[in-house]
Amino acid sequence: MGYVKSGSSKSLISGGLSALVLYFVHTQLPTNPVLASSVGLGISAALLFVMGSRFKKSGKIFPAGVVSLVSLIMTGGYAHGILRSSHA
């Protein structure tokens, strides 16, 4: 969205890299859930931090607020997945 709105190549590259990492997480979850959840936790926490600080600074719901909320939910989901997989 940052690229569309302002032509920011940085937004395009960081969004693409995040998507690639999350695709890797998606493909690895069935075979290696702890590794995939750990990587997912890291990327979700990073997105939560970056987009949360942007939301706090700008107060704009889209895209920073939406991405922050989704990242918060996914961070909890990945943490739950790690705890669940390590007890199995």
B/e letters for 32-41, b = 16+ CB within 10 Å, e = fewer, are ebeebbbbbb
Measured N-to-C along each axis, helices 66-87 and 33-58 cross at an angle, to the nearest 10 degrees, of 160
* Structural contact between residues 47 and 60, judged by C-beta atoms closer than 8 angstroms: no
Q: What is the pTM of this model?
A: 0.83
**Over 70: is that where the pLDDT of 33 sits?**
yes
What local confidence, expressed as pLDDT, does residue 56 receive? 94
Average pLDDT of every residue of the chain: 90
